[in-house]
Amino acid sequence: MDRPDPGSAGPPVPEQARFCARCDGPVGRGRSGRPGPERGTCPWCGAVFDVRPDLAVGAELTGLPDRGDRYRVRAPLVRGARGWSYTAARVSDGALVVLGRLEGPEGPAAGALAVTETEVLLALDVPGLVRARDVVRAEGRDGPVRLLVLDHVTGETLAGRRPCPPAEALDAVLGAVPPVAALHAHGLLHADLNPSNLLVGPDGITVLDLGSVRRVEDRHSDVWATTGFVAPEIRPGGPGPSVASEVFALGRTLAVLLADFDHQRNLALRLPDPAGIPVLRDDPDLVALLARATDPDPARRHRSVEAFAAEARRVRARHPARPASRPARPGDNRVGLAARAGADPEDDPTRRGGHRETRRARVARDVRGAPIP
């Protein structure tokens, strides 16, 4: 298969977003004013890394035999923990789709779905869940890979709206519950719920990025999720992901939508002190909802995402109706992936929720603009 020329087939991966697929160590960093390499050897574990796109623009890929579709790669879209994802066009009608990797650079990743579970995912047609249409195989740089074909979805992710008023934040998270609950009903976990994977569009909230979906009973394979939204039990030797960890991620998503705090480093597993955040200090019921959903002990969280939603609706009823959402701005389009190329690298998924250094810290403010101590 033809390989794209380095640096010419897609947007370069920012240096601060380059990490080793094996050990999560930083790689490809520049020194003395010189740019870092896009490929080389990890100085921490010796693994080979290459952050360039590995599918050629214009390459045609074949879907599952029972579907009979072919897809032409248009452009690299974003590089996450599993590697590059791409925009593509269905050859038969030109429809825009997204190709998101199901395997990581070193083989099946994050509870990669077996054939039967992939068939369940492809059969799902749930309002609010980005539709998976097909699976294609391609020859990647390091061997064969599978990519999930996802619908193109337009709108703006919640990551671009934070912080936002309680009514808007609650409505957004409540909008994500039905599609997530539908996954659970089919024995699947999303496994990477966060504001970058929730899109606000003309039809409400759409849950994006199905590349980390895994079986509920899979408690042992690697988890590719976003730092700051990973439950504490998802660690080597821990009990692993479950419905309770999905509740945790929704609670963390709600907290991050309400207040801009250091959610990926110092407070990656804890909520900020409500006394320093007016929007939380003045709403003990909202604080109680967040505290229960993000309790370090999964047994003390809501028993299901529906139970979380029931309490969230009671809290929501105490807040006035929010004004109509602003229309999507030019360029606010999303295509079923976790992040656009060039988006905040802090929101890229990491294996096992590994904590990564970030280059800068934002001034923490709550939704009212008040600084958070």
- Tens digit of pLDDT per residue, the chain (373 long)? 344 433 334 557 788 778 776 776 889 999 998 999 999 999 999 988 888 888 989 999 999 998 889 999 999 987 766 678 899 999 999 999 999 887 654 444 434 455 566 788 899 999 999 999 999 998 877 678 889 999 988 888 898 888 999 999 999 999 999 999 999 999 999 999 999 899 999 889 999 988 888 889 887 777 777 888 999 999 878 898 999 999 999 999 999 999 988 787 788 788 898 988 888 998 999 999 999 999 999 999 999 999 999 999 999 999 987 555 444 443 444 445 443 433 444 444 554 443 333 333 333 333 333 333 3
Q: Which residues pair with 154 in a beta bridge?
A: 333
Residue 29 DSSP SS3: coil
The pLDDT value given to residue 11: 59
Q: Which of 184, 259, 233 is nearest to 352 (CA)?
A: 233
Contacts 24+ apart (CB under 8 A), 4-8: 4/52, 4/53, 4/54, 4/55, 4/56, 4/57, 4/76, 6/38, 6/39, 6/52, 7/38, 7/52
Residue 104, phi then psi, degrees to nearest 5: -85, 180
The pLDDT value given to residue 267: 83
Residue 226 DSSP SS3: strand
Q: How far apart are CA 226 and CA 186, in angstroms?
A: 23
Domains of the chain: 156-351 (1.10.510.10)
> The pTM is what?
0.76
Q: Which of 39, 27, 83 is nearest to 224 (CA)?
A: 83
Residues 6+ apart with CB under 8 A from 212: 110, 111, 190, 191, 192, 223, 224, 225, 349
Q: Which of 264, 229, 245, 224 is nearest to 352 (CA)?
A: 224
Q: Is the distance from CB of 144 to CB of 138 less than 8 angstroms?
A: yes
The pLDDT value given to residue 268: 79
Residue 175, phi then psi, degrees to nearest 5: -65, -25
Q: 218: burial class by Cβ within 10 Å (0-12, 13-18, 19+)?
A: buried
Residue 248 DSSP SS3: helix
Element (H, E) at 88: strand 83-90
The pLDDT value given to residue 1: 39
Q: Is the distance from CB of 118 to CB of 210 less than 8 angstroms?
A: no
Write the DSSP symbol of residue 324. Answer: P
